[in-house]
Amino acid sequence: MQTLTVIFAHGRESGPWGTKIRALAKVAERLGCQVISRDDRDNRDPELRVVRLIDEVKAIDGPVVLVGSSMGGYVATVASQVVRPVGLFLMAPAFGLPGYANQAPLPISRELTVVYGWDDDIVPVEPVLDFAKKHQAMLHLIPAGHALLEQVEWLTQIFELFLGRCLQLDRATARERFLATL
């Protein structure tokens, strides 16, 4: 069975190894996943970030999970249409904001979780709720701001449950491929 690779896409104003990503990366590594945290600080264009993410995933052998925060959530969602990850874990995804080409991105993944902070003053709640409802996402609304830093411990627990489901899906797929060869 191939190792699951978890790829983190950070927000416009943050970096590849911020507090949230470090905490979630520890969870992924403990569960046996490879971890990549992209560094897109040189680029504020979400569409170019999508292209870069797709190119990076094409070089990976095996299944992937995309994790995105804010702009990174938008980027991961749009990239999922090409990449088709096992899972998408979106934190305060930048939906409904001006300057983003795809105002209604279609997520393509078997697991979809969205986390949004009630005190988010960057991303409006309505587009996030509409997205989650339309795509039947697991939705967590929590008492936190846009960065969700008030809830990092809780976030790691939710991420561990999400990643566990992704790993089960990947094992099931590997088993199905094996049985098909008999």
- Kindly give the confidence (pLDDT) of every residue in the chain, 182 residues in length, as a single tens digit, with 9 standing for 90 and above: 579 999 999 988 777 788 999 999 999 999 999 999 999 888 889 999 999 999 999 999 999 999 999 999 999 999 999 999 999 999 999 999 998 999 889 999 999 999 999 999 999 999 999 999 999 999 999 999 999 999 999 999 999 999 999 999 766 555 454 444 34
Residue 125 is encoded by which pair of tokens? 């709640």
> What residue ranges in the chain does DSSP mark as E strands?
5-9, 34-37, 64-69, 87-91, 111-117, 138-142
Residue 152 is encoded by which pair of tokens? 């990092």
Looking at the domain 5-180, which fold is it?
Answer: Rossmann fold (3.40.50)
Domain range list for the chain: 5-180
User: Which pTM value belongs to this model?
Assistant: 0.91
- SS3 state at 88: strand
pLDDT in tens, 65-102: 999 999 999 999 999 999 999 999 999 999 999 989 99
pLDDT of residue 180: 41
pLDDT of residue 178: 43
pLDDT of residue 34: 96
